[in-house]
Amino acid sequence: GENVEQHPSTLSVQEGDSAVIKCTYSDSASNYFPWYKQELGKRPQLIIDIRSNVGEKKDQRIAVTLNKTAKHFSLHITETQPEDSAVYFCAASFGGTSYGKLTFGQGTILTVHP
Amino acid sequence: GAVVSQHPSWVICKSGTSVKIECRSLDFQATTMFWYRQFPKQSLMLMATSNEGSKATYEQGVEKDKFLINHASLTLSTLTVTSAHPEDSSFYICSARTGGPGELFFGEGSRLTVL
C-alpha cells in the first residue's frame, strides 16, 4: 500500500518568515495530494491540493509543488502569521473508486512566533 | 462547501460497553464514507471504507467484529465500537466525498474515552 513520509515533525519560524514542509510517497499510482491544517481537537481543514497532472499550485500565501518523478511534494507558506500555527498533514490517494481513501503523513507541528 | 456532521462530539464510557458514532452528510448524498482514527499527537489512520448498501471494507489490522460499520442510507454511516477498552480511546473522524474527483469533507470528529 501507499506510504507517505513527512518532514520535519516540528517547525518553528518567526512571523513573516517562510515555512516549507516536505512529503514523499511510495505509490506511483497516487494522483491526488491534499494538504490539511488541523487545530487541536478539530477536524482537518483542506488548505490546498494538487493533482498529478500539475506541477505547482498557488493560493495567496500558500503553494504546493509536486515532482512526480521523485515522488515528492511540498507545502510552502510565505509571510507566516501566528494564526498559521497548527499541525499540518500531507496526504496521498489515487482516483477511481478509491478516491477519498487518503494515506496521511505523520504531521508537522508549525509554530509561528510573533 | 458540503457539510459532514458527526455525533456525538465526545463520549465517555465504561470498559466493556459499546458506543455508536454517527456520521451524516447534511447537504449531499454520499455513497462512500471513510472512517479514520487519530491517537493523541499522531496522524490520521484509515480504518475502513463505508459503502452504502454493502459491507464495509476494512484496512489491514482493523478488527471488523470490533468496529462495526453500517451505511444504511446515502446520508448516514455509523461506527459502533463494541466491547470498548481503554486502548480504543481515540479521536474518530469520518469523511465523505460528493462523488467524482471533488473535495473530501471531514466531520467534526468524535472523541471517545473509555474508562
Span B22-80, pLDDT tens digits: 999 998 888 889 999 999 999 999 999 988 888 899 999 999 999 999 988 889 999 99
Residue B18 has pLDDT above 60, yes or no: yes
| B43, B100, B107: residue with CB nearest A104 | B43
Query: Which is more confident, B101 or A107?
Result: A107
Strand A10-14 to A62-67 pairing: unpaired
* A99 inside 8 A of chain B by CB: yes
CA B91 – CA B71 distance, rounded (Å)? 20
| A45, A99, A104: residue with CB nearest B44 | A104
Contact A100 B111 (CB under 8 A): no
Residues 6+ apart with CB under 8 A from B107: A43, B4, B5, B6, B23, B93, B94, B95
Residues 6+ apart with CB under 8 A from B78: B20, B21, B22, B23, B69, B70, B71, B72
Residue with cell 475502513: B48
φ, ψ for residue A18, nearest 5 deg: -95, 155
pLDDT of residue B28: 87
CA B69 to centroid of chain Cα atoms: 8
Residue at A26: amino acid letter: S
- Taking chain A (114 residues) in runs of 10, the rounded mean pLDDT of each run is 94 98 94 94 93 91 96 98 98 72 95 97
* A96 inside 8 A of chain B by CB: no
Residue B99 has pLDDT above 70, yes or no: no
Q: List chain A residues with CB under 8 Å of B44.
A: 44, 89, 102, 104
8 Å CB contact between B30 and B98: yes
* A50 inside 8 A of chain B by CB: no
User: Distances from the Cα of A83 to the Cαs of A37, A104, A114, B43, in angstroms?
Assistant: 11, 23, 10, 21
pLDDT of residue B98: 72
Residues 6+ apart with CB under 8 A from B13: B19, B84, B112, B113, B114, B115
8 Å CB contact between A107 and A88: yes
* Residue in chain B lying closest to A3 (CA): B45
